[in-house]
Amino acid sequence: MRRYLGILAVASMFLASAVNVNAQDMLQIKGSDTLINLVQRLAEEYMEKNPGKYIAVTGGGSGTGIAALINGKCDIANASRLMKPKEITQANERGADPKRVVIAMDGLSVITNLKNSVTKLTKDEIGKIFRGEITNWKEVGGTDMAITLYGRQSNSGTFVFFRDAILKGDYSQKMNRMNGNAQIVEAIKQDMSGIGYVGVGYVKDASSQLNVVKVASSPGADYTSPLNSNDVKSGKYPLARPLNQYVNGSPKGATRDFIAFELSPEGQKIIEQEGFFPIPDEYRDFNRKSVGLE
């Protein structure tokens, strides 16, 4: 009997501690597929340095993360796009006050198969390709081969960013809708006729297995690569974009502590190791005004 009591006591202690973790110290982060590996890595380093703190990072796409923040289902939403005015109104209606923090810079990379001879495109050409107006590689200086488009699904922030910034119109109905950055990278590695777009962090390890297209903002301008950190930070690369996190109200406690870690020199170094770029001064100013951290 006494033995059973002992087991019971241990079990209940274990249970109690588990409940504690869930209730108080577990930070829930949800959203962008582009950001998930990066934030996961940041969370791991942070937990190693701060024993007793727990962070859970899950994906689902920027749209899903923002919806979760609005519904109070997560502490931080990862977003590779900005919140839409409609979403902000929706959040306000439910008593949430979303604040934006920029944690890294991304050079959204247009990728093609290694065997494809086209290695540079203008912003305008990319728009035409994804709108379905250019359908053959020979129209942009390549071989005579129909173009196969690979993009994301509509819950993706990258889907929305790319459409609003580059296409300014609808994607071709023939674009394959893939489930995440990694799936696009895999498809492009195999498909000679393919073109796709992914966060620069996803081409870092694969850059010897596929072409990262150099992009010019207009026909006469210089072609720049998303792998060049200066061009991304200065915004000379036409598809450079900030990667964001949204929090509800001015961040406090564990949330604030983790964001401070992300923005610290140590956090920014991890961001570089993951293939993304540290934030420039203009966004440091922005963060200070938005949440009082820089």
Partner 1 sequence: MIKFKEKLIHGIFFFNGLLVVIVLLGIFALLVFTSIPAFKEISLREFLFNSNWNPTSYVKSSYGIVAMLVSTFMVTLGALLIAVPLGIGTAAYLSDVASTRVREIAKPTVEILAGIPSVVIGFLGIVLVGPFIAKVFNLHNGLNALNGSILLAVMALPTIISLSEDALKSVPKSYEEASLALGATHWQTLVRVKLPAALSGIIAACMLGMGRAIGETMTVLMATGCAPAMPESFLGAVRTMTSSIAIELGEVPYNTTHYYALFGIGLVLFIITFLVNMSADIILHRYQKVAK
Residues that bind partner 1 (CB under 8 A): 60-61, 63-64, 67, 86-87, 90, 145, 148-149, 153-155, 163-164, 167-170, 172-179, 183, 186-187, 190-194
Number of H helices, E strands in the chain: 11, 12
Residue ranges of E strands in 38-97: 54-60, 76-79
Residue 224 CB, shortest distance to partner 1, in Å, is 26
Q: Phi/psi of residue 183, each to 5°?
A: -65, -35
Q: Phi/psi of residue 210, each to 5°?
A: -150, 165
Nearer to partner 1, 149 or 203 (CB): 149
Q: Which two tokens stand for residue 289?
A: 């005004």
Of 69, 47, 48, 66, the C-alpha closest to 56 is 47
Nearer to partner 1, 157 or 251 (CB): 157
Residue 38 CB, shortest distance to partner 1, in Å, is 21
Q: Which two tokens stand for residue 35?
A: 């950001």
Under 8 Å between Cβ of 56 and 219: no
Residue 244 CB, shortest distance to partner 1, in Å, is 17
Residue 59 CB, shortest distance to partner 1, in Å, is 11
Residue 144 CB, shortest distance to partner 1, in Å, is 13
Nearer to partner 1, 156 or 225 (CB): 156
Under 8 Å between Cβ of 103 and 199: no
49, burial (CB in 10 Å: exposed 0-12, middle 13-18, buried 19+)? exposed
